[in-house]
Structure 1
Amino acid sequence: MSPTLPSAQPCPRPRSVLTDLQSVHQHMGYCPQFDAITDLLTAREHLEFYSRLRGIPEEETPRLGLGPHADRPAGKYSGGNKRKLSTAIALLGSPPVVFLDEPTTGMDPRARRFLWDCILSVIREGRSVVLTSHSMEECEALCTRMAIMVNGRFRCLGSVQHLKNRLTPFLEDDSYQESAV
C-alpha cells in the first residue's frame, strides 16, 4: 500500500517569524510527541475537523493507511495508529514545513516503515521536515542533516556521516562508556 498524500503547494511568499508569526503558523504542520486527538472522534472526523479549520477540501486530506480504522473511535486505536493519525493531521494542506516530534513512537516495524515512506514522499515533494527522534536508525533513514541536542542545546550539526565520524571515537572509548554509566 502506498501512502496517499496531496501534492505539495509552494508557500506564496517567504514569511518572517518576527513580523508575520500567524502566517508562519498557517503554513506549517506539527505533530506533537503526545497525540492531541480526541478519543470519541474517528480518524475521518479528526481529518474533516482539522481540514475545515484550515480551509482544506476533504479530498486533499492524507489518509496514511488508516483505511480500515477510519470510522472507529480514536480511543480504540493502537499507539501506532494514533501516531499515524497525528501525523496525517500535521500533513493537512501540504504545509511547506512540517515538524514531527517522535512520529514513530509505539509503532511496530511494519507501521514504522510505512510512515517513513510517507515522510520520504513529503521530502521528495520539496517540503521541509524537522524531525525529533531518539532513533539513529530513523534519523539515518529520513534525514540529510542532523543536530544533536544535550540539555536543550545544540552540540553537533552536520550530515549523518559527519556526525557518525565525529562521535564514533566517543562510542568506542571504554573509559567514556564507563563514566556514562
Structure 2
Amino acid sequence: MPTSRQGDRPAPTAVSAVGLRKAYGDKTVLNGIDLRIPAGTVFALLGPNGAGKTTTVKILSTLIPADGGRAQVAGHDLATSPARVRAAIGVTGQFAALDDLLTAEENLLLMADLLRLPAREGRARARELLQRFALADLAHKRAATFSGGMRRRLDLAMTLVGDPRVIFLDEPTTGLDPRSRRTVWDMVRSLVAGGTTVFLTTQYLEEADQLADRIAVLDGGRIVAEGTAEELKARIPGSHVRLVFPDSAEYARAAAAFPGAAREEEELALRVAGDGSLDALRALLDRLDAAGVRAAGLSVHTPDLDDVFLALTGEGTALATPTGTPLPAEENLR
C-alpha cells in the first residue's frame, strides 16, 4: 500500500466508491463497484468497450449522477458537495476540448477565466503551463494547426490550469502515434511525482502496465480483478520456457525427457511450463544435461496484460498456446 512522504502511515484516499450503480433503462452499466485509490498514485481502469469505464469517470467527475452507492473525491462527497469535487479535479476526455479558433495561450486564458482566476494569476499560470508542456514556441499559433500530439498536450495543460488534486484521463492517448503517446506518459509520471492523483481509463494495455500503480478490470458492470500489474499477471497461467533444438535427433531426445511439454514439431521446439525463475532455469538446464540433450536456444514467455484482459473479461476465454493446444499444467521446471 502506498505510504505518505514520511513513510510511516498509509497515503490518504483520493477517490473512494462503495456500491456504485448506474443503469440506462433496462441496461445495467455499473452493478455495485467499489474503489479505493490512494493519493499520489495512478489508478487504471480496464475493460472492453461498453464495460462502463467512461460512465465511471462521468459519475466521479459529477457529470452524471449515480443511481446508487456513495463516493468521495478529494475528500468531498459527490452527493452533498459536488461543487467542491469539481473545484478539486480536472478531466480530460477521449477528444481534446479545444477551441480551434483560439491560440494555445488563448485557450489556456479562457480556461483561467472560466475558473475565475484573477487576470494576473491566469496569465502566469498560462505561461507556466506552456513552458511545462513544451508549447511555449506555439503559444500564438491557433489550435486548429496543431498535430494530434500537440492538441493532447494542450488539452492536458488546460486540465491543469486550476491545479487539480485529482485528474481523470479517459483514454487520453487514443489516436496518438507511439512517440506522442510516450510523451503523454512522461507528463502523467511528472504529475504524479508532484503529488497529483491520476484516474486513467485506457484501451492500451501497455499504457496501464507502464503507468499504473494499481489496475482494476471492469466487466459486466463489476470489478472482476484488481491489483498491481504483476499481481494480475501472476493470476493467469501460461508461463513457459520455449526450447529450440538444432536437429530432429536432439528434439526427439528432449521430447522423451519432457513428456508433458507442448510440442512444435515443425520448428523443433518444446514449450515447458514454468515460471522462468533462475532456479527453475537451472533445474531445466540440469535436466537437459542429464538427458544428454543440446538445445540451440531458449526464451522465457510470461503472461502480459493482454492475457489478463482476455482471460478475465467477456472478450476471450482461457489462454491457449499459439497452436491452440492448452499448456500442460503438470509439467514443472523444478
TM-score w.r.t. length of structure 1:
0.80
1:135-180 Cα shifts (integer Å, max 9, x gaps): 12211221100112235542221111111222455937228x97xx
Structure that is richer in helix per residue: 1
Match of 1:42 in 2: 103
Structure that is richer in strand per residue: 2
- More off after superposition, 119-128 vs 107-116: 107-116
Name the aligned partner's letter for residue 129 of structure 1: V
Relative distance call for 1:87 and 1:168 in structure 2 (3 A) is farther
- The separation in 1 between residues aligned to 2:124 and 2:77, in whole angstroms, is 30
Match of 2:294 in 1: none
Matched, 1:60 2:121: no
1:79-134 Cα shifts (integer Å, max 9, x gaps): 11111111111122221000011222233333322221221111111211001111
- The separation in 2 between residues aligned to 1:168 and 1:34, in whole angstroms, is 37
Relative distance call for 1:85 and 1:153 in structure 2 (3 A) is farther
- Specify every segment of 5 or more residues in structure 2 that has no aligned partner in the other structure, as ranges: 1-73, 239-302, 308-317, 325-334
Match of 2:154 in 1: 85
Match of 1:132 in 2: 201
Match of 1:3 in 2: none
- The separation in 1 between residues aligned to 2:193 and 2:139, in whole angstroms, is 26
- Specify every segment of 5 or more residues in structure 1 that has no aligned partner in the other structure, as ranges: 1-12
Name the aligned partner's letter for residue 60 of structure 1: R
Percent identity reads: 35
Query: How many residues were matched structurally?
Result: 165
Asked if structure 2 preserves the Cα contact closer than 8 Å seen for 1:35 and 1:83, the reply is yes
The structure with the largest alpha-carbon Rg is 2
1:16-48 Cα shifts (integer Å, max 9, x gaps): 112101110111000011222121111111101
Name the aligned partner's letter for residue 320 of structure 2: D
- The separation in 2 between residues aligned to 1:43 and 1:156, in whole angstroms, is 40
Relative distance call for 1:151 and 1:88 in structure 2 (3 A) is farther
Relative distance call for 1:165 and 1:26 in structure 2 (3 A) is same
Written as runs of structure 1 = structure 2, the 5 A alignment for 1:82-161 is: 82-161=151-230
1:174 alignment partner, SS class: coil
1:52-99 Cα shifts (integer Å, max 9, x gaps): 211342222322122232222111211111111111111222210000
Relative distance call for 1:164 and 1:60 in structure 2 (3 A) is same
- The separation in 2 between residues aligned to 1:42 and 1:151, in whole angstroms, is 42
Match of 1:9 in 2: none
1:173 to 312, 315, 319: 319
Relative distance call for 1:105 and 1:66 in structure 2 (3 A) is farther
RMSD of equivalent CA atoms: 2.3
- The separation in 1 between residues aligned to 2:225 and 2:156, in whole angstroms, is 27
